[in-house]
Amino acid sequence: MSDQPTPTPPSNPVIPGFHPDPSICRVGEDYYLACSSFEYFPGIPLFHSRDLVHWTQIGNALDRPSQLRLPPDSRSSGGLYAPTLRHHAGRFWLIVTNVTPGEGNLLVTATDPAGPWSDPIRLPGVPGIDPDLAWDEEGNCWCTFAGVAQIRIDPRTGETFGEPQPVWSGTPGAAAPEAPHLYHIGEYWYLMIAEGGTERGHGVSIARGSSPNGPFEPCPSNPILTHRSTTRPIQNTGHADLVQAADGSWWMVLLGVRPQGGTPGWHILGRETFLAPVSWVDGWPVVGEVSPELPELPWPLAPVPVPAERDDFESNELRPCWISLRDRPTEHCTTKERPGWLTLRARGGSLDEPDVVFLGRRQQHLAFRARTLVDTTEGSGGLAVRLDERHHYAIEATPEGTARVIARIGSLRTVAAELPLPAGPVVLTVHTGEAPQPHDARTGPDSLVFGVEATDGTATQLASLDGRYLSTEVAGGFTGRVVGLYAASGAVHFDWFDYTPLTGPVAS
């Protein structure tokens, strides 16, 4: 299974799937990027690239219980919001908000972005969300956060100096000024923010001033990026960060979505990371087109091997792309109990429960197939596509020899299909199928087809379910689909898992 990089040939998004709120920094020829992770553990995936296009996940910043508290009753789309990743004085610095009550803004550091990262420095004097870090020439560290306001901090201790002071908050009347990033470029300090809300009205605006505290003059061309009120295939563009390449060119990473189907358009993968070129005109950044095609790059793209998509669970440690819900105690999730198998030991009784034992990976392609070989002689469990506790589909095998497809949509929960199984381990499958009525404006984004495979390779389809109900437009929230494995009772063993991108949907 892929620890990503993005599939070849490269295209936009450069980091597909649920990877929102990108923050980027460059050290020499190397680029590093962090994204939000919300209720999933480990938190804050970290990526590396040499060309801004091919990204490989190298770790997660918050991968120990001492770093990240996400209690079982913490809500979906809660948890970790909007990191800022910076390199200063020989260290990497990452600041992020844990919106779990009692947590707040946290700061961790590392000399190697692959980890280990420090235990968090807490910042009780920094309110709000979406914190940013910037250092001036005197060594002062300024933390700017959504609202927009700013305070000076000591990043080594968490001490704050004075009270937060309001700074430029974007277009008057625009909703949700957030995601601030402060940069010293040439003779100016630039304050870039997102505004308009993170849905279809999202956009990026910028202002500049002579000091990190302003006063700030807004760009006359604001917003410098938005796709609102357009029919472009990429929507919700915003929450951006800037980086200068080693050759002097400038680039923007940003989040966006790819709506599918009819009205109103359903995005199923969450908010993804896109790349756009930036030029400078009269001291202001001008953002190039954000489209499914990559922008023209001033350097050649090195060939990247096709990543492996299968995990045989032969290592004692899970790959960094695997994520769990809120925590991952070894007594509930291990590859050491049964060599060459993943063992999940149930806690919550179903995917409806916030403490269900679940291990998944982000769905990163509009069309895909996932399969797993599962042994349920000691418990019930299976293969699921999850958005949150109230929106998920699954195929579950039981010790009694039954496979059932379960659909949870809001307050409704139903068993969509059942099938008796032969004795022994069974292969459970899910793939995307054709959306119905392709010329109807009410068409959903896709369908999800669940089935089983016999030892001779023959497949039996159990149910095809409308994919729109596992979309953000239906469920709300800030995440995207996650495909993975779970235990509903007892101990469930998984021999392997594979995830295959498809060039198009599989006919239902």
Residue type at position 76: S
Name residue, tokens 């239902």: 508
Question: Can you tell me the distance from the alpha carbon of 5 to that of 3, in angstroms, rounded to the nearest whole number?
Answer: 7
User: Which value, to the nearest 10 degrees, does the dihedral of the CA atoms of residues 444, 386, 366, 239 take?
Assistant: 100
| Topology given in CATH for the domain delimited by 310-501 | Jelly Rolls (2.60.120)
Name the stretches of the chain with pLDDT < 50: 1-7, 507-508
* Terminal-residue alpha carbon distance, the chain: 25
Active-site residue, selected from the candidate residues 3, 21, 241, 375: 21
Helix, strand, or coil (residue 44): strand
Q: Where are the beta strands (DSSP E) in 6-99?
A: 23-27, 30-34, 40-41, 43-49, 56-62, 80-88, 91-98
CATH class of 23-230: mainly beta
Active-site residue, selected from the candidate residues 3, 132, 178, 327: 178
Is residue 21 part of the annotated active site? The answer reads yes
Instruction: State the pLDDT at residue 436.
Output: 59
Instruction: State the pLDDT at residue 303.
Output: 73
pTM above 0.75, yes or no: yes
Taking residue 452's Cβ as centre, other Cβ atoms within 10 Å add up to 22
Question: Can you tell me the distance from the alpha carbon of 20 to that of 35, in angstroms, rounded to the nearest whole number?
Answer: 6
Show the tokens assigned to 178: 């957030």
Give 72-109 pLDDT, tens digit per residue: 989 999 999 999 999 999 999 999 999 999 999 999 99
Instruction: State the pLDDT at residue 302.
Output: 74
Contacts of 258 (CB under 8 A, 6+ apart): 13, 233, 234, 235, 267, 269, 272, 292, 366
Task: Yes or no: say if 105 and 153 are a contact pair by the CB < 8 Å rule.
Answer: no
In whole angstroms, what separates CA 29 from the centre of its chain? 25
Residue 155 preceded by cis peptide, ω within 30: no
Instruction: State the pLDDT at residue 6.
Output: 40
Name residue, tokens 């469920």: 475
Instruction: State the pLDDT at residue 437.
Output: 63
Q: Mapped to the 3 state alphabet, what secondary structure does 409-432 carry?
A: ECCEEEEEEEEECCCCCEEEEEEE
Which phi and psi (to 5°) does residue 87 adopt? -120, 125
Residue ranges covered by each domain of the chain: 23-230, 310-501
Question: Can you tell me the distance from the alpha carbon of 185 to that of 189, in angstroms, rounded to the nearest whole number?
Answer: 6
- Is 310-501 the same fold as 23-230? no
Taking residue 164's Cβ as centre, other Cβ atoms within 10 Å add up to 19
